[in-house]
Amino acid sequence: MTGSTTDQDNESARRRRAWDKQAGRYDRQIGWWERHLFGRGNRDWAAQRARGDVLDVAVGTGLNLPVYKPDLNVTGIDLSSAMLDIARHRAADLGRDVDLREGDAHHLPFDDASFDTVVCTFSLCNIPDPHQALNEMRRVLRPGGRLVLVDHVRSTSTPIYWLQKAIEVVSVRIDGDRMTRRPAEIVERLDFEIIERDRFRRGIVERLVALRSA
C-alpha cells in the first residue's frame, strides 16, 4: 500500500474495527486454516527461534503465547483492543507476565534497538503497508537481532495463485486480507541477512529468520 499518512491511518482504523468485530471468533477461524491449509506447527517453529526480549507484532488473541519459552521476556502489540482483551486472559491463564499494548505496526511505540527478536505470524498479509511495518520491525531490533516471520503468500502453483487473486476480491473488502503478498521480497531489500527460509504447501506458506545487520 502506498499513499498519504492520512490514508494509512484511515485504513488502519478500518482494520481495527474489523478485528474488534471478529475477535470472539478469530481463534476458531484461524484454527481451521491452520489445521487444513497452513499447517499446525508454524507457531512452534517461530517461538523456538525467539531469543531474549521478544516483540510479537500483531499479537492478536495471543495464540503464540503458549509456545514461547518461559525464560523469554515477551511484549505484544495489536491494533485491536478486543483481540488484546482475549490475549490478556490467555496470558493470565498461562501464568505469564506479558506486556500487551494497543498500537500500530506502522509506528511501533518503542525506542530504537529495544528487542532481541521480533516475531510476526500470519499478519503481514493484513497490515496496510508491509514495507513500513518491516522497516519499523528492523528499527526496534538490536544489531544482530532476529526477525522471525510466518505468513501465507502467493502460491507457486498458477491455478492456486489465480484462486487466491479471486478470493482477494472479497477478503480485501471484508478485512483487508491479501492472499498474494510475499513479505520475504521486502526483507531481501532491507538491511537483513536471511539465515533460514522455508516455503511449502504449494508455496502458500513461507517462513523465515533474518538478522539485522550490526
Model pLDDT for residues 23-80, shown as the tens digit of each residue: 999 999 999 999 999 999 999 999 999 999 999 999 999 999 999 999 999 999 999 9
- Alpha-carbon torsion, ordered 177, 110, 76, 149, to 10 deg: 50
Spatial CA neighbour of 123 closest among 99, 109, 104: 104
Angle at 95 between CA 106 and CA 24, to 5 degrees: 55
Counting Cα atoms < 13 Å in the Cβ hemisphere of 53 gives 11
pLDDT score of 8 = 77
pLDDT score of 177 = 85
For 81, the domain range is 5-212
CATH assignment at residue 80:
3.40.50.150
Low-confidence ranges of the chain (pLDDT < 50): none
pLDDT score of 172 = 80
**Residue 15 DSSP code:** H
- Work out the burial of residue 109: count CB atoms within 10 Å of its CB; fewer than 13 is exposed, 13-18 middle, 19 or more buried: exposed
Domain tally, the chain? 1
pLDDT score of 186 = 96
pTM of the model: 0.92
pLDDT score of 4 = 63
Are the C-beta atoms of 175 and 21 separated by less than 8 Å? no
pLDDT score of 174 = 76
